[in-house]
Amino acid sequence: MALDPSSSEEQVLVSQYHVATERYTAAVGELSQQRATADKDGYQRLLLIVEDARNECERVRSALTKLHNSQPKGSTNI
């Protein structure tokens, strides 16, 4: 079931998801670059940043899924 592309709630969530995935990608990249040179505390901080970014991606993805699943069965958005 496709969502109405003009849905402001959907647009906000898609925008949030884009930002969250960019943040997650950057955090993972930073962790990858720093893993050999970071001290233990720095590495732990990076791990927390990566985990927070991953959790935000999952939160927004879940909200999009919930929005999609709340669409009435049989309705079409053409």
pLDDT tens per residue across span 9-56? 999 999 999 999 999 999 999 999 998 899 999 999 999 999 999 999
Question: Cα–chain-centroid distance for residue 34?
Answer: 23
Average pLDDT for residues 55-73, to the nearest whole number?
A: 90
Give me the pLDDT at residue 64, please. 94
- Average pLDDT rounded to a whole number, residues 47-72: 93
The pTM of the full predicted model, rounded to 2 decimals, is 0.76
For the domain spanning 9-69, the CATH number is: 1.10.287
